[in-house]
Structure 1
Amino acid sequence: MDEEFYLLVADRIWHGALPYVDIWDRKPIGLFLIYALLRPLSPTGIVAYQIGAFFSAFMTAIVIRQICLRFCNNGCAILGGLLYLLFLPLLGGMGGQAPVFYNLPMAVAALLILQAQGSASSRSVHRYAYIAMALCGIAIQIKYSVVFEGMVFGLWLLQIKWRDGASIFDLIRFGSVLITIALTPTVAVAAAYVLGGHFYEFFDANFLSIMRVVPPQPARRLEFLAGTVYSILPLLLMAIAATLLLLRRPFQAKNLFLVTWGAAAIGGFFALGNNYAHYALPAIAPLSILSATLFPRMGIGLVAGGVWYIISFAMPAWGVPTIREHHINSMVTALRPYAAHGCIYVNDGPPILYLLTSSCLPTPYIFPEHLNNAGESKAIDAAREMKRLLRTLPSAIMVADKILDHPRNRNTAAMIDAAIAAHYHEVVRLPDVFGGRQQIIYARNDFQ
């Protein structure tokens, strides 16, 4: 659902919409610009962003191989890259989730830091450091949670300067330059919104609104966490074993860097309010590299175990995209006649329906959870926006018969129920893209 929304935002950007003003979300604008660049490459943009995601994942695997070569032979380095590609789908990374794109600049930054670590030239260290921090800055504009990895990378570069005998004043000056470089893309985006007169909308969406979100109950977070750990358990166990072996060896800075990078990526996962599986995607890169260092000793057994895991847990889901496409097409067929006569409203369903039906948007808060999730009720004043939306009487409203992961916003749900009772009639019930529930389409009463 997330990547469908990113594609929808990208499509609206091409039609003049301004993120955070005309269409709202918390993601940095860099992610939407990636999708916007890919959008024209296929009729609906779906194939285009998948191609972009594939290229990014493949190139990340190539970089991972290059990093692995600093720790093990070519055979295990190739396996390290393959591990990355194999475990991406198990955490929902088979498409265009944000980490699929920003893992590439972060992996390149890590490779540059390792090159700086082995360099005796101060000029080379500075060059590697500045490029690495620029890549971190780009990654931050794809998703802000990468800042944890960026901080570790910056501290590691300071350690390299300290190793080379830099004074405290040199370290402060060097650190200030690194911070400035890393923050430049974000500052540039903020400046653009200042010039456009929409700085508050940008700042509230990107930095303030998240503080007003009510996190899920601890039991729910634990459930998400358990599912995430279960999905990558073999990789996690291999990485832990590799960490213990690396730390027992004679000290090498590159070993400690790899362990710290993995810890930072995992720390970023826990720092987020929800422990969704795809939030752990950034950790797959360092965990794959750590795991690869085991292959010269126990390669056959580890590879066999990984293949078994993929076959047991990933292959049963390989037919899901085809089933999902069939359900989406059914919804598009049912909704398209109403989209031709006004905006439809998808309360809890695929955002891609707005794009595929050529519907206008009834609200800037078009991602379903912004108005239907109880945790978002105070973050954006969902009740006020729902009241405004329903006054426009969308030509059709689609609601799900069951909730998924989060409790429903009772106020907005009651408003929808009242509007449906007064102005709408049921047209059809269709299978949802998520198994076990249906989508109910209601048409306005003047459409018979």
Structure 2
Amino acid sequence: MTAKLSSAPNAICHKSGGNPVKDNGKLQLLSVSTALVLLILLPFSPTIYPVPDRDTGVFLYFGDHILQGAIPYRDMWDHKPPGIFIIYALGQIIGFGTAWGVWLLNVVTLILSVMFCFDLLKKAFSFVAALAGTTVLLIGALLTSIVNTPESYALPLLLAAYYLYFRTTTKKISNKFWFYMGVIFGTLFILKYTLIGIIIAIGLYSLWKKPRQTFRTYILCASFGASLVFSPVLLYLWLTGALSYFWNAALIYNSAYTNLPFTVKLLTLGEGLAKNELVYLVIPLWLLISMAIVFKKLSVEPKVKALVLVCLLDFPLELILTALSGKNFTQYYVSLIPGVALLVGFSTHIFLHRLNPNPLKLPITLILLGALCILPLWGWLLLFQLHSNTQQTLMEGVAYIKAHSNESDRVLTWGSLPVVNYLAHRESPTRYIYQLPLYTKGYSSKVLFDELQKELDEKKPRLIIDTAGSETNIPPLDPSARENWKSALPEEQKDRNGKIYFYPEEDMLSLFDFIDSHYRRVRSVGPNNWVIYELIDILEN
């Protein structure tokens, strides 16, 4: 059986002005994609979902303060690559200082993802296959919480790599293609280091198919493309004096953060895959299609075979890269989505192609269209699940800050929620806008706590918001609450002497004493009982 590509003949062709039928089809695809994505992402818009999650809060704070002249890494600590901060700064410009700009950028990237996916699968397979793959793409986006994360902005780039590769398989791969691959590689790398699997897969497959001498030229072209992305970013960090801070966070911290035993990383990957419904679809398809091609049970056209083989090669690479972090956050599996969509599209095409005449084509098409119509409702259901006590507590804390401080006052958020500072429009007194890095084994040191204490002494915050009621890895500022917190931690987080692995208590005593002597507890807010402290000098005046 040969799975042939379906390509409609150009019924109307003009020497100038392009193809009206083709242009009209693209316009229709854009219109439908835009309407569908808007409906899906509407529940996560700032008006309906006004409280950003933890990571989004960090990025919003970065984007806002970059526009005010702050330098990432030097003035604000984080270990993410710089690409996401560039996007959020752009979003703040587009949204006139609100989260709307970031949300609109997310809408645009998901629209581009849908268009790349549908057009690729339609060209490679068929209309119904494109519907099936695109439906899976959007389901995967919802399952992996693809809203305002580095992975969400990378999704169209992952699909663009597949799209460009498929277009080049019909002709000789040019140096221009590898230049584009280099640009995509560089952009993916500065968004998140582990998103480069598809470029590696294309490179490995091309190395297998092409002479090494030719491949060296390709590497040079790709390197040039990547350098156009890396050079301005590194130059900016160097000129602003932030390069050493960047290396410290990106290399030293990330090495400590991911320094876990291989078995732990493997178990974590398994846990992440087990709770990701897409995996139950992709693994059987990957195995079946791989075996079918290996044992030559499927005979497909060369350009389709090349596309599918790259996809099959990419899947284990994505698993390896995802496992490197030792974490199983749902958004870490976004890089699997393009491959899943492609394999589903290919499987649908093969299945329908075997039935001739095909009585299932119409019902399958109607089912897929119905699924696309239902997807926006799923977004609203997810919205209700996202509501939590932390959100209510956060909004009460922000309201208190606005009522009891001025915009010129600094506020320290003790914990990992600098979104408090962003929503309250209050600057953090320290570059450690969240303190999780201070508790990372292999990175934490007394030098870091002394740096934090020095910043608090020089730029004393008017208020301190202790968010330990919503945290498990952050000790409370109150001494008695801190003792209760230590005793409540599970035994696996302690050594044989009862010492907590991630809690350098001796290094923190001076910092705790400083806060105890300069601040007084004034009240607690919300169901999570965040404790608010105010500067004693302010209270006594």
Compute the TM-score of the two structures, normalised by the length of structure 1.
0.84
Matches within 5 A, 1:157-306: 157-160=206-209, 162=210, 166=211, 168-213=212-257, 215=259, 225=269, 228-233=272-277, 235-247=278-290, 248=292, 249-250=298-299, 252-295=305-348, 297=351
In structure 1, what is the Cα distance between the partners aligned to 2:348 and 2:508? Answer: 53
Q: Deviation string for 1:202-232 (max 9, x for gaps)?
A: 3333334322336468897677545532442
In structure 1, what is the Cα distance between the partners aligned to 2:265 and 2:538? Answer: 43
- Helix, strand or coil: the match of 1:12? helix
What displacement does 1:287 show? 1.8
Note if 1:335 corresponds to 2:395: no
In structure 2, what is the Cα distance between the partners aligned to 1:271 and 1:209? Answer: 14
- Helix, strand or coil: the match of 1:427? strand
- Helix, strand or coil: the match of 2:425? coil
Q: 1:128 to 1:377 in 2, by over 3 A?
A: closer
- Equivalent of 2:469 in 384, 401, 408: 401
What displacement does 1:43 show? 5.0
In structure 2, what is the Cα distance between the partners aligned to 1:318 and 1:429? Answer: 27
Q: 1:409 to 1:386 in 2, by over 3 A?
A: farther
The percentage of counterpart residues that share the same residue type is 16
**Do 2:269 and 2:323's aligned partners in 1 also have CA atoms closer than 8 Å?**
no
**Do 1:61 and 1:82's aligned partners in 2 also have CA atoms closer than 8 Å?**
no
Consecutive unaligned residues in structure 2, runs of 5 or more: 1-53, 293-297, 353-363, 475-492, 494-501
In structure 1, what is the Cα distance between the partners aligned to 2:312 and 2:382? Answer: 32
In structure 1, what is the Cα distance between the partners aligned to 2:98 and 2:120? Answer: 33
2:436 equivalent in structure 1 = 369
In structure 1, what is the Cα distance between the partners aligned to 2:239 and 2:446? Answer: 24
Compute the TM-score of the two structures, normalised by the length of structure 2.
0.70
Q: Deviation string for 1:71-107 (max 9, x for gaps)?
A: 53212312322222222232232x2100100121121
Q: 1:374 to 1:92 in 2, by over 3 A?
A: same
- Equivalent of 2:524 in 396, 406, 429: 429
In structure 1, what is the Cα distance between the partners aligned to 2:381 and 2:62? Answer: 31
In structure 2, what is the Cα distance between the partners aligned to 1:80 and 1:389? Answer: 52
**Do 2:72 and 2:242's aligned partners in 1 also have CA atoms closer than 8 Å?**
no
What displacement does 1:23 show? 1.5
Q: What amino acid maps onto 2:415 in structure 1?
A: D
CA RMSD of aligned residues (A): 3.5
**Do 1:369 and 1:376's aligned partners in 2 also have CA atoms closer than 8 Å?**
no
What displacement does 1:6 show? 1.0
Q: What amino acid maps onto 2:203 in structure 1?
A: G
In structure 2, what is the Cα distance between the partners aligned to 1:257 and 1:146? Answer: 15
2:448 equivalent in structure 1 = 382
1:41 equivalent in structure 2 = 94
Q: What amino acid maps onto 2:503 in structure 1?
A: N
Q: 1:429 to 1:415 in 2, by over 3 A?
A: farther
**Do 2:129 and 2:344's aligned partners in 1 also have CA atoms closer than 8 Å?**
no
In structure 2, what is the Cα distance between the partners aligned to 1:224 and 1:430? Answer: 35
1:356 equivalent in structure 2 = 423
Q: 1:14 to 1:72 in 2, by over 3 A?
A: same
1:317 equivalent in structure 2 = 382
- Equivalent of 2:176 in 117, 122, 127: 127
Note if 1:151 corresponds to 2:195: no
Q: What amino acid maps onto 2:418 in structure 1?
A: P
- Helix, strand or coil: the match of 1:366? coil
Q: What amino acid maps onto 2:116 in structure 1?
A: V
In structure 1, what is the Cα distance between the partners aligned to 2:72 and 2:435? Answer: 16
Q: 1:191 to 1:61 in 2, by over 3 A?
A: same
What displacement does 1:49 show? 0.8
Q: Deviation string for 1:227-248 (max 9, x for gaps)?
A: 5324422x21221222233220
**Do 1:27 and 1:143's aligned partners in 2 also have CA atoms closer than 8 Å?**
yes
What displacement does 1:356 show? 2.1
Consecutive unaligned residues in structure 1, runs of 5 or more: none
Larger radius of gyration: 2
Q: 1:375 to 1:311 in 2, by over 3 A?
A: farther
**Do 2:84 and 2:191's aligned partners in 1 also have CA atoms closer than 8 Å?**
yes
In structure 2, what is the Cα distance between the partners aligned to 1:147 and 1:182? Answer: 12
Q: What amino acid maps onto 1:238 in structure 2?
A: L
Moved more, 179-188 or 377-386: 377-386
**Do 1:362 and 1:394's aligned partners in 2 also have CA atoms closer than 8 Å?**
yes
In structure 2, what is the Cα distance between the partners aligned to 1:272 and 1:349? Answer: 19
- Equivalent of 1:12 in 65, 86, 89: 65
In structure 1, what is the Cα distance between the partners aligned to 2:443 and 2:229? Answer: 31
Moved more, 125-134 or 206-215: 206-215
What displacement does 1:113 show? 1.1
- Equivalent of 2:513 in 405, 418, 422: 418
- Helix, strand or coil: the match of 1:294? helix
What displacement does 1:426 show? 2.4
**Do 1:38 and 1:49's aligned partners in 2 also have CA atoms closer than 8 Å?**
yes
Q: 1:103 to 1:441 in 2, by over 3 A?
A: same
Moved more, 341-350 or 26-35: 341-350
In structure 2, what is the Cα distance between the partners aligned to 1:329 and 1:194? Answer: 38
Q: What amino acid maps onto 1:439 in structure 2?
A: W
